[in-house]
Amino acid sequence: MMSYPTDPVIARQWIDRLSQKGRDFFGTDYAIMGGAMSWLSERNLVAAISNAGGFGVIAGGAMGPDLLEAEIQATKERTSKPFGVNLITMHPDLDALIEVCLAQAVGHVVLAGGLPTAAAIAKLKEGGAKVVCFSPALVLAKRLIKMGADALVIEGMEAGGHIGPVSTSVLAQEILPEIRSVPVFVAGGIGRGEAILSYLEMGAAGCQLGSRFVCATECVAHEDFKKAFLKGNARDAVTSVQIDARLPVIPVRALSNDATQRFIETQKSVAAKVDAGDLDPKAAQLEIEHFWAGALKRAAVDGDIQNGSIMAGQSVGLVKKIQPTSEILEDLITQAVQALVRRGEDFAAHSPVSSAPSSLAAGA
Ligand SMILES: Cc1cc2nc3c(=O)[nH]c(=O)nc-3n(C[C@H](O)[C@H](O)[C@H](O)COP(=O)(O)O)c2cc1C
């Protein structure tokens, strides 16, 4: 009878086979993507993830074309391994950013922040890049594949940063059994190897992790930002609250701080001004959106963790120490291997033969 392995070497090979599709897609040792994090996923962290066998992704969302070009070149100086670039589809300079990626022969471009256009996907593919798209639902996954997406990321609402409404576990059940034609990577709330193993077993090609890499030694986040991560529990990573239906708030998951509270007060006062006729709804909406402008940089780069946005996923509770990126990746793989070995041991200890009544075990 087939059984799970109890030998760690075989368990490791098993995990390599489970993640083969994702490893082949990126050309990496591990099917683990470092999810792009604005201001943090720059040359140092990206190169560290790729050098350690994962797939680092530069966060191009807050960059213009010149900055992105410099960042790609600086990353190439630090690693000869594959890495990618994440672009935000509504960036006003998207075309120019795509051209930079193609000119720099970036192998994989992740299109985030809304549904990409067919033209953007086609331009990247014609230029030789593989295109990875975010899919928030099965119907969109199918549409993106028809549009030419080479791989998908499905990210649940446990994730840090901008989020959708559906949890990772439900998205995985909705999408993984249906999509076999392209690799699908699961993101959101993943902080340990056991979860990576489970999603691989469900059919994922690999996983994307963001929060787990914030406290990497190589991550340039301000030390107070890292300290907030070390202190933060899963329940502290909350979504932005909307208090008035007329003033929509883009859901973002971040550690609760003074700014979280002030944001609620701001919404109340803006809504009151709209009620009083002192502010038209469009201006009110701008005031709401303006509240968080530059807030991630303020916290992550400047270290103002009370007035900035400490974007973090619920997996923040699994971040326990500052450690080198290579160690983080090794920990994740070791946890996955150990989980498989434990299953093997449980199988051996509770096999039908050993636990069955002796008459059955004897084949009577
Ligand atoms: C501080 C921070 C900044 C992020 N910035 C971006 C971004 O610029 N673009 C993007 O596509 N995703 C961004 N994300 C999402 C990550 O790429 C990743 O998908 C997410 O962190 C996965 O969930 P996890 O944090 O539970 O691992 C960000 C996440 C964090 C924590």
Pocket test for ligand 1, best of 33, 38, 133, 250 (most atoms within 8 A of CB): 38
Write the pLDDT tens digit of every residue in 23-81.
999 999 999 999 999 999 999 999 999 999 999 999 999 999 999 999 999 999 999 99
Residue 356 domain-assigned (yes or no): no
In this structure, the answer to whether residues 179 and 289 fall within a common structural domain is no
Nearest C-alpha to atom 13 of ligand 1 is from which residue? 37
Domain that holds residue 53: 8-218+324-342
Count of structural domains, the chain: 2
Q: How far is the CA of 359 from the centre of ligand 1 (A)?
A: 56
- On whether both 289 and 332 belong to a single domain, the answer is no
**Paired residues of 33 in beta bridges:** 55, 208
Counting from 1 in the atom list of ligand 1, the atom nearest the Cα of 155 is 19
Q: Is 240 a domain residue?
A: yes
- The runs of H, that is alpha helices, within 192-257 are 193-201, 223-231
Let me know whether 163 and 277 are in one domain. Answer: no
What is the number of other CB atoms lying within 10 angstroms of the CB of residue 157? 20
Residues 191 and 170 in one domain: yes
pLDDT, tens only, 285-320: 999 989 999 999 999 999 999 999 999 999 999 999
Residue owning the nearest CA to atom 3 of ligand 1: 37
CA 222 – CA 310 distance, rounded (Å): 11
pLDDT for res 3:
83
Domain membership of residue 183 (yes or no) is: yes
User: Do 197 and 56 belong to one domain?
Assistant: yes
In this predicted structure, which of 127-136, 268-277, 345-354 has the lowest mean pLDDT?
345-354
CATH of the domain at 108: 3.20.20.70
Pocket test for ligand 1, best of 32, 33, 37, 85 (most atoms within 8 A of CB): 37
Model pLDDT for residues 129-144, shown as the tens digit of each residue: 999 999 999 999 999 9
| CA 114 – CA 127 distance, rounded (Å) | 22
Ligand 1 centroid to Cα of residue 159, in Å, is 7
Average pLDDT score, the chain? 95
Say if residues 247 and 269 touch (Cβ distance below 8 Å).
Answer: no
C-alpha of residue 188 to centroid of ligand 1, in Å: 8
Q: What is the DSSP letter of 55?
A: E
Helices (H), the chain: 8-18, 20-26, 43-51, 65-78, 94-103, 118-126, 138-147, 168-175, 193-201, 223-231, 258-275, 281-291, 295-300, 325-349, 352-355, 358-361
On whether both 308 and 169 belong to a single domain, the answer is: no
| Binding-site residues, ligand 1, Cβ < 6 A | 35-38, 40, 59, 61, 86, 112, 155, 158-161, 187-190, 208-212, 311-313, 315
Q: Which residues contact 145 (CB under 8 A, 6 or more apart)?
A: 152, 179, 181, 182
- Same-domain check for residues 229 and 297: yes
Q: What is the pLDDT of residue 351?
A: 78
9-20 pLDDT, tens digit each = 999 999 999 999
User: Is the same domain home to 200 and 235?
Assistant: no
Residues 14 and 84 in one domain: yes
Q: Running DSSP on this structure, what letter comes out for residue 364?
A: -
Q: Do 328 and 295 have their domain in common? A: no
pLDDT > 70? residue 354: no
- Is residue 21 assigned to a domain? yes
Ligand 1 centroid, distance to 183 Cα (angstroms): 20
Mean pLDDT of 228-249: 96
